[in-house]
Amino acid sequence: MRDVVINLLATAIAAAAGWTSQYIVRYRRILRKRSFFGVSPGAQVMLFVAKHFSSQRPQSVHRNDVATLVELATTIRESGGLPALVTSEDGHREAGRVTEYCVGGPSANPRTAAHLRIALPGVRFTPAEPDSLLPFSVGDRAFRRRPGAEQFALLARVRPSASAAPVFILAGQTALDNLGAARYLMANWRGLRKTYGNRNFCLVLGLREPSTFGADHVHLVADVSVPAFTAIAGAPEPDHEHRDEPDTAVAALDPSHHD
């Protein structure tokens, strides 16, 4: 009888130790995730979304940007935060107090345009025009899309100071590219955290064959952190019109994306 009791106690202790170990691992993981994404339990996180390019309604949002918001909001909620949507018509909010996610290029999202002017002086977007290639440049390197074959997005995290809340910018050449940037961010945040910690970064991402694969085949094209955060000598101030990217989605989107 004594041996049975001892075995039961040993089993219970082992089970409790295993559960505690798993709990600590999960808790540390969520802490790392909160730190990277700038989420505090119960704190509001602002999602600034671009206006739909071709819609006449001032608060219309492209369906691919809606999918992007879902990706971001899911991660924020899983981290204990409270996602709050802000449209381009209601973007007059203070910066640095709460974490922000800006979805869409500067022609469509005034909030993105402001952050680019202030924090990323080495980035230049061409104002959106129907049927244009919507190029953008970082430093002396230009990125021009080949519609349906190769398209690009800018993914940046800007933290004005060590104590300020971060700003994430997902600025694609089209709304589909915004979604690709979000999926890349969700799938690769651990690697980005190991590489950059709490430092600012700016990446150019590419979508391969988006006319066939949608936003699923996303790869890193270049780390442009140095030129993006460096002012271009003699460059004129960007002149961004507040319009959205054209609709280029031609394929159904798979919500899952893995490394």
In the chain, domain spans: 38-228
Q: How far apart are the first and last CA of the chain?
A: 53
Best CA proximity match to 168, nearest among 95, 218, 248: 95
Q: What's the confidence (pLDDT) of residue 23?
A: 53
Q: Which of 1.10.1740, 3.30.70, 3.30.310, 3.30.379 would CATH assign to domain 38-228?
A: 3.30.379
Model pLDDT, residue 167:
96
Q: What is the pLDDT of residue 251?
A: 28
User: What mean pLDDT do residues 219-248 have?
Assistant: 67
What's the pLDDT score for residue 255?
32
How does residue 127 score in pLDDT terms, banded at 50, 70 and 90?
confident
